Structure 1
Amino acid sequence: MLIKLIITLALLCFSHTATSLDLYVAPSGNDHADGLSLKQTINGLNGPFQTLARAQQAIRELKKTNTFSEPVTVHVQGGIYPLQKTLVFDIRDSGFDGREILWQSENGPAIISGGLILQDCAKGDDNIWACPGSGFELASIKYTNTDRKKGNIPGFELFIDQQPMHLARWPNSDWAHIKLPLDENTKFSSIEKLPSLESDQINTQVHIMSGNDWYDQYIGLESADQSQNKITLSGKTKYPFSSGRRFYLQNIKSELDAPGEWFYDLKTNRILFIPPNNTKPNEIIISTLHSLIAIKGANHISFRGLTFRYCTGIAINADKSSNLLFDHIEISNVGGRAIETKNSSYINISNSHIYNTGEGGILVTGGDRNTLQSGKNLIFNNHIHDFGRVLLTFTAAIEVFGVGSNISHNLVEQGPGTGVFINGNDHLFEKNEVHHVCEQESDCGAIYSGRDWTYRGNVVRYNSIHDLFGYGLKNVNIANDTVVYARPDGVRGVYLDDSVSGFSVIGNLFNNAGVMAIQLGSGRDNIIENNLISTDSYAIWVDNRIAGDELKKHLSQVPYQSHIWLTKYPQLGLPMLNQNWPEGNVIKRNIILSTKPGGFALRYFMPKQSNILANNLVWSTTGQLNVDYHVLDSLPKRSGTSWQEWVAEDVEQDSVYADPCVNITGNQVTFCAQSAAKKIGFESIPSDIGLMK
């Protein structure tokens, strides 16, 4: 009930009174009209505007003439609104408390598009279609090079019937693999036989995971020697090459040979493609704008029911703004993130659908970490899936920085990398469902935070995290030119990495949530309580690791010894007995159900002093539950010992080995009447997890 009250109050902040000014926009409208009604007159002076920019101008004129005295609703009629340039909102477009400005879709989807429709396309040999680029100046649309994306490829993307196409590539599916590094970061040989690239090399781009399964990047190709099966990159990879790691080549005209591939032929100014499923295309669109909406220092603006499609970068970005509402919007087929708001407060992103994004879903930054003032940002009831189709890793569905974001009732699924990144303080991640993420990544977390002792006050509670499998290198045999990648591999449900501290992980449901449902990587002052974990691998993994300079640097960047910080996080003022040990953690009242025969369910590498392990309920459906442990301050160390031997070390207090008698169906949990869960005081997990209809 509390979260419903919060949402209701948040939406009321953006609501309009009965008296308001109504403006109208329709694709069939006229920018010379007055915009005050839907009905058009013959002379064209009355009726809707045709463009969003004209409606924006009308609102600015109200302010110039001091007639902005009431809320304004812009009624955007169903249809397509192609943008010639990014629609920029600034202080001139702001509303005020009680005089908000609402842009609202009506009578069908209102689609705000940064795309161009290609015409006069014709089918040629091998089912390769060609579309002339005349009149579009396609060569002037430049690819934006970044730290992770470099190369000489087109600056736009192609979509057929709203489906993103892939640049013509080798191999057509899956990946090729590094055989041997020929230097550290620029040259390597390939296990698979390289294709003949002929004159395509200068424009070829390499997508590569050079040294691990958790960081991908794009780099230009300098040369490909087919006779020696050797590749030289035009720039350095972030991580050194390692045998067996993945790569593929793209933007190769001679490799245009599979459904769903395309190529821009600069010499003939034609776009070539093979339609998905080899079917006749109906709608052929290229994305040309970098961004659709940019909000710079504007406040009290709402966007409701609008659809945003086709841009090469971030669809909507806002900076230094407040009281913005994005409700029931749809964002798809964009090259970057869907929404990025920085240095902003009272941002509400709710009830929206985000998919087919190139570099993630929603990023929100707000609040002040020095003063711990909350940004009061809300991410509520959104469905985010198929994100990270360009950059696979470090492009989460939801990412928060700063202080005090509320992320609740979202569904995150079907992503190649991490589902959620939590950075900063006092964020609440509650009643969300996360599954089938980290699908192309190892050493990955469905929910991840790491590398900071000062990320305190974050709460992860009442979420359902399930069906995580990961993907990683299992075996490479250079002599036989064989590589094996497989799942499951390396994914965690909640990944508290590299000494991150002060998290509360409470009341969550973990069902087959990776190789570790919860990993605590030497963090401090974390609470892991009242979680239900059903797994065929590790339920909880606690380890000790060396605290690097990065942790100490982050500690010095915030006033952690100030009165504000020590009042809120008094443990930060206490001395560390050993900065490399997990200290001050509480692991209690959790139910751990192991389903793996002879499986290792728990790993505790931690000191007895200062940590609390108590009142947990453990059970193995196969009759054997094993524990790895190293009691760091008294030296006992065992691998694969029984639960009984672990309890005898007297580290774990008042815990129970008994059948919890529990049934898990989707996000619902039920216990039988005689369940041993009562013995540890286990509290019920809420039933309203996930999307709210």
Structure 2
Amino acid sequence: MRNSLRALSRTLPLWLFVCCGGAVALTELHVSPAGSDTNPGTWEAPLATLGRARDILRETRAAGNGASVWLHAGVYETGASFILDAEDGGTPDGLVEYRALPGKKPVLVGGRILPPEAFAPVTDESVLNRIDPAAREAVLCADLKTLGIGDLGEFPDSFTTPPALPELFFNGTRMTLARWPNGDEWATVKTVVDSGPAPWRNHESADTGTFEYDGDRPARWATAPSVWLYGYWCFDWASETIRVKAIDPARQRISLSKPHVYGIGSGNPAARRFCALNLLEELDAPGEYYLDRENARLYFWPPAPVQPGSTVLSLLKDPVIHVRNAGHVRIAGLTVSCCAGNGIQVEGGESVSLHSCMVRNTGLDGVVVRDGARHLVENCDISETGTGGLVIEGGDRKTLTPCGHGALNNDIWNVGRRKRTHAYNVHMGGVGVLLAHNRIHNAPHQAIGLGGNDHVIEFNEIFDICQESDDCGAFYMGRNPSERGTIIRHNFWRDTGGPRSHGSSAVYFDDGTGGQTVYGNVFLRAAGGSFGAVFVHGGHDNRVVNNIFIDCKAAMRHVRWNDKGWAEWVNGDLWRERLLKEVDITRPPYSEKYPELAGFFEPGARKRVNYSSKNVVVRCPMLLDGDWEEENNFVTDADPGFVDAAAMNFQLRDDSEVYQKIPGFERIPFEKIGMRRKPTEP
């Protein structure tokens, strides 16, 4: 039936599909970059925009009927968010789909494609004098006002999460806002003159932060209208961008306009590091650009000749696709790219699925799913995001009602391009999210951030995480002991931590986290510094069972809080707010579902320990440290019987000695871990 309708839609008007006495319940429309919104939306006379297709469906689709909007290949410039509201949804028997034609690649761009003729050599002497002599002939200028682009926004004085501002993309790759030092290098703080206020260590100061630097490079910035520094000012898990207040070249000092929340200092052992951003004076390498926001001019050193379609300036601050309170909508096979805000956002509603989409080069998060019920993100590629990759949350924490959302078979990598800390490949929140069979990798900080209850994280492959930061975990949650019941099972964690490695782990339960289960995982080279592959800071009632640890500095570690430290957290405002007001752990459903919370506020009412049993520990110098009740763990320096360790197949053979050393050890289905996509049409 579908194929016959598709053939008919090449020539027949739309209304024949929606009005023939109810004989045909499916509406089909076609959209193409070469189309026109005055067309009827047939194969041969397609529409030009998704917005027009949606509006036609609003006017003509009978209640309960399904619809398919087919996107033809090509690039769609989207000047506004494509919004689907409750009236645009379908029903369980009448799905509404926006999808790519089979074998075609429609690309929705949240910005403007800049024509080659917009770029010209720089001739203004006052501008040339600010550019490095070696770069002057290579840098081109585009007057954006002549293209109708005037408002480029502005950085605030300080920020941890960047605002939705324009960025430049060339041949599908994010270009570099002109910086010093170039590439991935950093300058370092030579001496802290005044850290600025640092409440965490009871330090008061009227100074907003002043430090000395090495060399004379900042002297070049004296004529720049403004200078921002991005840095790890105190801790290697807390980065921030701050405007410069003053530069004193004679004394080699820089003063910041706003204090860093932790002050400038040495919270971690490594040197404090920073870079300077958006300086015309530092536009000195191919791929760098500078935005003159006051005069709406773009300066760019293209890494290759500018061609038609090669250069995009992201402008759209709202989500490129925004589904609000709609149900039974499927978006399949679309590419969303080059936007200033989020790529795709789903809020409220039910049973919205994103299938086989590619979301990349976003200014903020790639995909956001918030509230509603039974939403699904499946077979999607999410990469090169400005902040996080996928945010997925829902359910009711007061009643512990699950949302039923799922993220399955997605590849999520290279996130945090603009926010280097606390921008996760995946952030889960609420109650009852399933994260399964995903490939999650390459992040400067943490890969999976979690808040809430009763989530399941299983059959995922997670690697090359925490590559730039420190005191971090590939999985992280903390500071809320009411968040319990999550199961982390049958995942493969490997290669966590970068060169600094004060401490990095695969699974990090921070600041009193308890009541989680880590079962049947494989950990390879997943502990750095003073951390274990599973690291517990202050919490208890976490269970680590039936896992395999390989070549980790420590398998499991626990840093215990003494009674005084525990009492300070228990009686502090933060936990009282989270444990008694946001939810109430002393009453049902919490007191019934999590009986171990009984007596939580009573000193000495329960032992504060974690549990470790039936784990296999291979070539790890330390099994565990801290307060654990442990039994039946097997420690060895030899191969315990892996199928092929050299090929990273850590499935245990049937004749492995583990099954004799640990009676009841359950086989880990290693062959099922990772993405399991089917080569089918979206």
Question: Is the contact between residue 159 and residue 165 of structure 1 (CA under 8 Å) also seen in structure 2?
Answer: yes
The yes-or-no answer on 1:338 pairing with 2:366 is yes
- Report matched runs for 1:95-494 at 5 Å: 95-106=90-101, 107-119=103-115, 120=117, 121-122=119-120, 125-143=136-154, 145=156, 148-149=159-160, 155-173=165-183, 174-185=185-196, 186-198=209-221, 200-242=223-265, 244-266=271-293, 269-276=296-303, 283-291=310-318, 292-472=320-500, 488-494=501-507
Q: Distance in 1 between matches of 2:275 and 2:446?
A: 22
1:571 aligns to what?
A: 596
Task: Report deviation, 1:237.
Answer: 1.0
- The more displaced of 581-590 and 231-240 is 581-590
**Structure 1 residues 93 and 144, CA gap change in structure 2 (3 angstroms):** farther
Partner in structure 1 of residue 625 of structure 2: 604
Aligned to 1:588: 613
- CA deviation string 1:491-520 (max 9, x = no partner): 101111111111000000001112221112
Cα distance change on mapping 1:361 and 1:18 into 2, 3 Å = farther
Which residue pairs with 2:640 in the alignment?
A: 660
Match status 1:524 vs 2:552: no
Indicate the SS of the match to 1:50. Answer: coil
2:675 corresponds to 1:691: yes
- The superposition leaves residues 83-125 of structure 1 with CA deviations (integer Å, 9 ceiling, x where unpaired) of 1211222223222232221101115111111121112124664
* 2:63 counterpart residue number: 68
Structure 1 contact 275–281 (Cα < 8 Å) conserved: no
Distance 2:32 2:256 in 1: 50
Secondary structure in 2 matching 1:96:
coil
Change (3 A) 1:145 1:323: farther
Query: Structure 1 CA distance, aligned partners of 2:425 and 2:157?
Result: 20
Q: CA shift at 1:193, angstroms?
A: 3.4
1:126 deviates by 3.7
- 2:554 pairs, out of 520, 525, 538, with 538
Structure 1 residues 280 and 385 mapped into 2: Cα distance closer, same or farther (>3 Å)?
Answer: same
- CA 192–451 in structure 1, closer or farther in 2 if over 3 Å, else same: farther
TM-aligned CA deviation for residue 668 of structure 1: 3.7
Is the 1:421–1:447 Cα contact (8 Å) retained in structure 2? yes
- Residues in 1 aligned to 2:302 and 2:649: alpha-carbon distance in whole angstroms: 39
Q: Normalized against structure 1, the TM-score is what?
A: 0.83
Structure 1 residues 667 and 450: CA distance shift in structure 2, 3 A: farther
Say which is worse superposed, 235-244 or 305-314, in terms of deviation: 235-244
What is the DSSP-based 3-state SS (H/G/I as helix, E as strand, rest coil) of the residue aligned with 2:281? helix
CA distance 1:111–1:200, change in 2 (3 Å): farther
- Alpha-carbon deviations, 1:353-374, whole Å to 9, x = none? 0111010101112000111000
Conservation of the 8 A alpha-carbon contact between 1:544 and 1:580: no
**Does residue 661 of structure 2 align to residue 673 of structure 1?**
no
Q: Distance between the aligned counterparts of 2:24 and 2:604, measured in 1?
A: 60
Q: 1:274 to 1:175 in 2, by over 3 A?
A: same
Letter in 1 for 2:43: L
Partner of 2:128: none
Contiguous gaps of at least 5 residues in structure 2: 1-22, 123-135, 197-208, 678-682
Deviation at 1:582, TM superposition (A): 6.8
User: 1:232, CA displacement in angstroms?
Assistant: 1.6
C-alpha separation in 1, matches of 2:161 and 2:616: 48
Q: Deviations over 1:325-347 (max 9, x none)?
A: 10000011111000112222211
For residues 9-20 of structure 1, the aligned pairs below 5 Å read 19-20=25-26
1:150–1:219 CA contact under 8 A, matched in 2: no
SS of aligned partner of 2:189 = strand
Look up the equivalent residue of 1:353 and give its one-letter code. Answer: D
The SS at the match of 2:541 is: coil
Equivalent residue number for residue 484 of structure 1: none
Call closer, same or farther: CA 1:575–1:90 in 2, change over 3 Å. Answer: closer
Q: 5+ residue gaps in structure 1?
A: 1-16, 40-46, 473-487, 622-658
1:586, CA displacement in angstroms? 2.0
Distance 1:154 1:203 in 2: 19
Residue deviations 1:637-666, cap 9 Å, x none?
Answer: xxxxxxxxxxxxxxxxxxxxxx73435333
What secondary structure sits across from 1:213 in the alignment? Answer: coil
SS in 2 for 1:53: helix
Superposition deviation, residue 23 in structure 1: 1.3
- Alignment correspondent of 1:559: 584
Hey, what's the Cα distance between the residues in 1 that align with 2:32 and 2:251?
60
What is the rounded CA distance, in whole Å, between the counterparts of 1:513 and 1:281 in structure 2? 44
CA contact (8 A) 2:32 2:71 kept: yes
Whether 2:500 is the aligned partner of 1:500: answer no
**2:161–2:419 contact (8 Å) kept in structure 1:** no
Tell me if the contact between 2:466 and 2:496 (Cα under 8 Å) persists in the aligned partners.
yes
Maintained 8 Å contact 2:584/2:590: yes
When residues 525 and 198 of structure 1 are mapped into structure 2, their CA distance, relative to the original with a 3 A threshold, is closer
Q: Answer yes or no: is the 8 Å Cα contact 2:658–2:665 preserved in 1.
A: no
In structure 2, how many angstroms separate the alpha carbons of the residues matched to 1:354 and 1:228?
Answer: 46
Q: Which moved more, 1:168-177 or 1:411-420?
A: 168-177
Taking a change above 3 Å as real, the CA distance of residues 452 and 18 of structure 1, as seen in their structure-2 partners, is farther
Distance 1:618 1:378, change over 3 A: same
Aligned: 1:80 with 2:104: no
Report the equivalent of 2:47.
49
Give the distance between the partners of 1:572 and 1:198, measured in 2 at CA. 57
Letter paired with 1:613: E
1:198/1:495 CA distance change after superposition, 3 Å: closer
Name the residue aligned to 2:31.
25
The residue that corresponds to 2:4 in the other structure is none
- Structure 2 distance, partners of 1:538, 1:580, is 30
TM-superposed CA distance for 1:563, in Å, is 2.8
Distance 1:144 1:223, change over 3 A: closer
Deviations along 1:554-599, one digit per CA (max 9) or x if unpaired, are 211312222322221111124577579972532100001125xxx3
Q: Is the 8 A contact 2:391 2:426 kept in 1?
A: yes
Structure 1 residue 250: Cα displacement: 0.9
Q: Which moved more, 1:164-173 or 1:379-388?
A: 164-173
CA distance, structure 1, for counterparts of residue 88 and residue 469 of structure 2: 42
Listed one character per residue, the Cα deviations across residues 280-306 of structure 1 (whole Å, up to 9, x for unaligned) are: 666011001112122222222110001
Once the two structures are superposed, what CA deviation does each residue of 1:171-194 show, in whole Å capped at 9, x if it has no partner? 113111112222233222223433
Q: Distance in 1 between matches of 2:164 and 2:402?
A: 41
Q: Distance in 2 between matches of 1:200 and 1:92?
A: 55
Structure-2 separation of matches of 1:79 and 1:347? 28
Deviations 1:362-409 (A, max 9, x none): 111200011100000001110011100110110000001100000000
Change (3 A) 1:49 1:255: same
SS of 2:53's equivalent in the other structure is: helix
Determine if contact 1:589/1:615 at 8 Å carries over to the other structure.
yes
